[in-house]
Amino acid sequence: MYRFTAGALLICLASIFCSSSLLAELSAKEIIKKSDGLIRGNSSRGSLEMMITNPYFERTLKMKVWNKGRKKTFIRITYPAKEAGTGTLKIGNEMWNYLPSIEKIIKVPPSMMMAAWMGSDFTNDDIVRESSIVEDYNHRIVAEEKIDNYAAYKIEALPKPDAPVVWGKIYYWARKSDAVPLREEFYDEKGKLIKVMDYKEIKFMGGRVIPTFMTMRTMGKENSKTVLRIIESQFDIPIADSIFSLRNLQMVK
């Protein structure tokens, strides 16, 4: 577990001071890229907890997650016992799920990217981030607002022509001091708000300042939400390519 030392505190404060002055000079796309990179890194490995709440049930999932850039993602559920071993693999634009109960790998077609992942408010596209808010959208700063008492840039992201995206528009709030993401709103092609993601509990973890609680709500679903909590995370570390393979997907230890 990372220990927050006095030295780490000084590095953190210096980083925030420097980024605060530089952020004002960045374009909307550069702010989005910096913000997206904070929670992704060139590579990452972490432990997460997902708490799903709706009028019909409540349940908690625990999982291990590996990422390598935007092209490769591997997820293995470790809890509860009946779900343990379930896996998700994304390589490029392709995605597979492994179901240990039937010992079968199922390829997820593009038409299912908007389907709920494990019964949560997160879709398959949210989990593996098939579409890129950095590359597939045009961006502009439309306002400066307060989110949770933080000064933030409100950035509008509109899809580029023929971009392979599922959203007609995204509003993205990034903290002015360091580009930490604070909120996202997702709209369909008709301009209707579909989902809202709030980023909370900003902490120093894995050598950087990141939000550790993400709450996704789907509009029109009363008393429903999904909270994703980052328990621990490491960034920019070596990760073997063998992690991101169909062979590894079905190798449940």
| Residue 7, both tokens | 């030295």
Look at the chain and count its residues. Answer: 253
Considering the chain, what percentage of its residues have pLDDT values greater than 90?
68
Model pLDDT for residues 61-83, shown as the tens digit of each residue? 999 999 998 789 999 999 999 99
Q: Which residue has the higher pLDDT, 96 or 133?
A: 96
Average pLDDT over residues 190-216: 96
Average pLDDT over residues 221-246: 94
pLDDT tier at 17 (50, 70, 90 boundaries)? very low
The CA distance from 204 to 36, in Å, is 16
Task: State the residue range of the domain holding 78.
Answer: 6-249
pLDDT at 241: 94
DSSP summary character for residue 115 = S
* Exposure string for 168-201, b = 16+ CB within 10 A, e = fewer: ebbbbbbbbbbbbbbbbbbbeeeeeeebbbbbee
pLDDT at 24: 58
Is-contact 182 152, C-beta < 8 A?
yes
Residue 14 has pLDDT above 60, yes or no: no
Domain presence at residue 19: yes
pLDDT tier at 89 (50, 70, 90 boundaries)? very high
pTM: 0.84
Domain presence at residue 1: no
Domain presence at residue 240: yes
pLDDT at 1: 41
pLDDT at 131: 61
Q: What is the CATH number of the domain that holds 202?
A: 2.50.20.10
Q: Considering its fold, how many domains does the chain have in total?
A: 1
Amino acid residing at 244: F
pLDDT at 112: 87
